Structure 1
Amino acid sequence: MRRAVNFAAVVRACVRRPLLAIGVVALLALGGAALALQLKPSAGTDTLVSGSSETAQADARFKREFGDDSVVVLVRGDLQRTVLSSDLGRLIRLEGCLSGNVPTEGLRDLPPACRELSQLKPARVVFGPGTFVNTAVNQIQGELGSRQQASAQRADAAARSARQLSKRRGDPPAEQDRLARSARELVQSEFTRTLLEAALRYGITSAPAIDNTDFVDTLVFQRPKEGVAVGEPKPRFAYLFPSRRSALIQLRLRPELSDAERTRTIELVREVVAAREFKLEQGGKYLTTGVPVIVDGLAREVRSGIVWLLAAALLVMAATLALVFRTRLRLLPLALALAAAAMTFGVLSLTGWGLTMATIAVMPVLIGLAVDYAIQSHARFDEVLERERAGPEAAAPVAAAAGGPTIATAGIA
């Protein structure tokens, strides 16, 4: 009863000063609309689950350790022609540009987007065909150099031991030299035999280098045999070479990137792969994809689709009111609904909420409910006006006391 009396008092004050009430509502609606325009759409997966849920926390820990979702550049084209040609060098330069780790002097020969990527450094790690082959070459060469150095040291030690033993026996200097040389050659021949066995086991018959097509072919592709076609990549490298006609470059983004930085990173990646410096001469093409790219595209669609969604909701409500609502100012409930929606989304902006798919999906429902509540309130007013034979000033508080609290409670819910 007390709430009904209070609600009636509010309505009585609004009826007594209608211009003031309309002005306050209009001001709140305009302020809410201005704040709502600052909302930025977000279609990230983190908007679909609660941040306090176990799934969201596990995902956050994973991203802190390993980085965010990857932007993927798909290299489409014959894989043999891509990695067994000068295009492999272009892929190495492309991956270096995307990583943002190109030295300052090297940036002069690269597109402007590479310089911006070197400043932004959006990637936790970049890995692709060029990095894979280049890393394999460097590691094999480094391991080979280490073993050669160790073998040389063993050969020197064996030569010294043989010379000292020969000297203690009283052999002439010529004999000491011969025995030392024989000991050195024995160690070196053992190293050569071990090296040849490893080369035959892994099929490496020449010095590893990125421009050594025999080495790259052995590293990447399976040996042709029954059931295996020529140019079929090794299954254990499927994360880089999914098929004979594709390769993948992955940029695992830093998890602390803002939405604006993530969007700019995607734009820069697209600029880089479109640059003539990285155009593949053997017919390969680039396609930028991955979860961040899809999410960014979805956010763009949300931004453009919200206008059409709002327009459709308004047209449906306006048509409904025009056909069903038999009273003067038929579209007044729609204006009230728009004001309510503007104020609601303005509050979302003030409280730091984003414009997610869920909040956008609620907009037609919010407009529909607001129109429904306005119609109920107006119908109650018309009923009291007709039953009591009173003027609007007297009928409005009575209608508000009778149905206002129920409508207000439903609206808050």
Structure 2
Amino acid sequence: MRPADGLLRLVRGAARRPRPVLLLVAALCAAGTVAALGLHPSAATSTLAGRSSVTYEATERFRERFGDHAIVVLARGPLQQLVLTENLGRLLRLEGCLSGNRPAGQPATGGERGPCAQLARSRPVQVVYGPGTFINSAVGEIQDQLKRRLDAKAGEAEQAAGAARALARRQGKPRADQERLARSAEQLVYAQLVRDLLALNLKYGLGVDETPRLDDPDFVATLVFDPSRGATTPKARFAYLFPSSQSAAIQVRLKPGLGDRERERATALVRAAVQLPEFELRNAQGYTVTGVPVLAEDLADALAGSAARLGLIALVVMAAVLALVFRRRLRLVPLAVALGAVALTFGLMALVGAPLTMASIAVLPVLLGLGVDYAIQYQARIGDPPTAAGAERAAITAVPTIATAALATAAGFSVLLLSPVPMVRGFGLLLVAGVGIALALALTGGTAALVT
């Protein structure tokens, strides 16, 4: 059987049983609309690079090792106000909240329903790098280093005292002299320790008898700032934490296995956390949340909004054009056919689990235009008023030509399937499917609507 014979049978069946066909098409379009409303916008990297590509595989290896793309929380304000005041403690507590660390036996900041408690329960964050954590870790590391030196010198002093005492004993000196020489050996070792500690304290701006503390401005200033470049200029090697003298950056790396919805939820919790009054900065401009996950979420929201606006604008424009130009009865039937094709195409897209991308949204006006075009060409050949006999004549004389045009259009769009970019391939596949659905709907639902 030739393809034209199959199309002719479609038209005859719709013309002879218009009401059942129209009800079936309406039900399918309604189901497609409901399914399409469940489409989830996505700006994931998998829509831009094929999963088998070297770039995608390298990106995945990076994510598995270091975490997903970082959400960046930028604390804005003079750096001296951020790290040399009580703001540093607020940054440290914020970083603990974002990492999902909850102090044992203490209520979560913001309450059990707040973002900190939710981050602690869901654990979407792999690691957090920030100024508070860095300086606090430096304090702990230096204190540990001092303790190790003290322990080592205590052992050396004991060994030196024992060696001096043994030497004095072999020389036949009295016990008092033995103890005096042992104490002298101990004091010599501890004098070396004092010299080392003075050098270390001088390096970090500490007093003679001080140890590093998070709330010690002199220590923090010596650690963070580079006097050779200016009193307020941070050291270049800490640029990932202190990008400038007016900001500090907290990097929140999410776990690599999160889905789109989990990533969006984590981003929303980070945004909510920085708004808590407990983390409000004093004498600073506040926080800015940015980074790839944030941009992806905003882009996804923009995609969802733009799809609705684009569809509404296209609908109004098409309706106006048909009302002014297409001088036929039932002049809006082609628009209804095109809308049905869009609903079925995007509903099918939702059923197979395809994401809503920037490219797939661009299908909307293209498919509306093609659907209206096929329906107008077909309706114009049926005659006015439309009848079942006119539909069958159009099926014999005009449908093969319309189908050939649709086939050529689909063949042209199918070239996009050769693209290495998944988003472009999805765009082409959606257009090819949409062309077929639009043609089939024009011949079935369009026929049934016209002859009913």
TM-score by length of 2: 0.85
Structure 1 residue 351, shift from structure 2 partner: 0.5
1:331 aligns with 2:332: yes
Q: In structure 1, how many angstroms separate the alpha carbons of the residues matched to 2:405 and 2:28?
A: 20
SS of structure 1 residue aligned to 2:24: helix
Q: In structure 1, how many angstroms separate the alpha carbons of the residues matched to 2:179 and 2:264?
A: 71
Once structures 1 and 2 are overlaid, which stretch shifts more, 291-300 or 48-57? Answer: 48-57
Q: 1:110 to 1:34 in 2, by over 3 A?
A: closer
Structure 1 residue 93, shift from structure 2 partner: 0.9
Aligned to 2:59: 59
Aligned to 1:397: 395
Aligned to 1:101: 101
Aligned pairs for 1:7-406 (under 5 A) are: 7-108=7-108, 110-111=110-111, 112-201=114-203, 204-205=206-207, 206-223=210-227, 225=228, 228-382=229-383, 391-392=389-390, 394-399=392-397, 402-406=400-404
1:412 aligns with 2:436: yes
Once structures 1 and 2 are overlaid, which stretch shifts more, 301-310 or 339-348? Answer: 301-310
Contact 2:97 2:109 in 1 (8 A): no
Structure 1 residue 200, shift from structure 2 partner: 4.0
Q: In structure 2, how many angstroms separate the alpha carbons of the residues matched to 1:231 and 1:401?
A: 77
Q: 1:123 to 1:173 in 2, by over 3 A?
A: same
Q: Deviations over 1:239-293 (max 9, x none)?
A: 1111111111110111112222222222222222111111222334112111111
Q: In structure 1, how many angstroms separate the alpha carbons of the residues matched to 2:405 and 2:329?
A: 22
Contact 1:70 1:250 in 2 (8 A): yes
Q: In structure 2, how many angstroms separate the alpha carbons of the residues matched to 1:6 and 1:275?
A: 65
SS of structure 1 residue aligned to 2:289: strand
**Which amino acid in structure 1 is aligned with residue 119 of structure 2?**
L
**Which amino acid in structure 2 is aligned with residue 123 of structure 1?**
V
Q: In structure 1, how many angstroms separate the alpha carbons of the residues matched to 2:52 and 2:376?
A: 40
Once structures 1 and 2 are overlaid, which stretch shifts more, 211-220 or 372-381? Answer: 372-381
Q: In structure 1, how many angstroms separate the alpha carbons of the residues matched to 2:47 and 2:99?
A: 28
Contact 1:12 1:396 in 2 (8 A): no
Contact 2:11 2:392 in 1 (8 A): no
Q: In structure 2, how many angstroms separate the alpha carbons of the residues matched to 1:330 and 1:178?
A: 115
Q: Deviations over 1:329-380 (max 9, x none)?
A: 1111110001111110111111110111111111111111111121222234
Q: In structure 1, how many angstroms separate the alpha carbons of the residues matched to 2:176 and 2:388?
A: 135
Q: In structure 1, how many angstroms separate the alpha carbons of the residues matched to 2:316 and 2:101?
A: 53
Q: In structure 2, how many angstroms separate the alpha carbons of the residues matched to 1:110 and 1:11?
A: 65
Q: 1:375 to 1:54 in 2, by over 3 A?
A: farther
Q: In structure 1, how many angstroms separate the alpha carbons of the residues matched to 2:240 and 2:391?
A: 75
Aligned to 2:449: none
Q: In structure 2, how many angstroms separate the alpha carbons of the residues matched to 1:404 and 1:284?
A: 63
Structure 1 residue 24, shift from structure 2 partner: 1.9
Alignment coverage as a number of residue pairs: 407
Structure 1 residue 47, shift from structure 2 partner: 2.0
Contact 2:126 2:254 in 1 (8 A): yes
Q: Deviations over 1:20-44 (max 9, x none)?
A: 2212211211111111111111123
Q: Deviations over 1:210-238 (max 9, x none)?
A: 01111001001111x5xx33211111111
**Which amino acid in structure 2 is aligned with residue 325 of structure 1?**
F
Identity percentage over the alignment? 48
RMSD: 2.3
Q: In structure 2, how many angstroms separate the alpha carbons of the residues matched to 1:380 and 1:109?
A: 71
TM-score by length of 1: 0.92
Q: In structure 2, how many angstroms separate the alpha carbons of the residues matched to 1:197 and 1:73?
A: 36
Q: Deviations over 1:103-133 (max 9, x none)?
A: 2323355543211111111111111111011
Q: In structure 1, how many angstroms separate the alpha carbons of the residues matched to 2:162 and 2:67?
A: 53
Contact 2:76 2:288 in 1 (8 A): yes
Structure 1 residue 201, shift from structure 2 partner: 5.0
Structure 1 residue 402, shift from structure 2 partner: 3.2
Structure 1 residue 204, shift from structure 2 partner: 4.9
Q: In structure 1, how many angstroms separate the alpha carbons of the residues matched to 2:321 and 2:108?
A: 63
Gaps of 5+ in 1: none
Q: Deviations over 1:127-173 (max 9, x none)?
A: 11110110000001101111110111011011111111212222111
Q: 1:108 to 1:56 in 2, by over 3 A?
A: closer
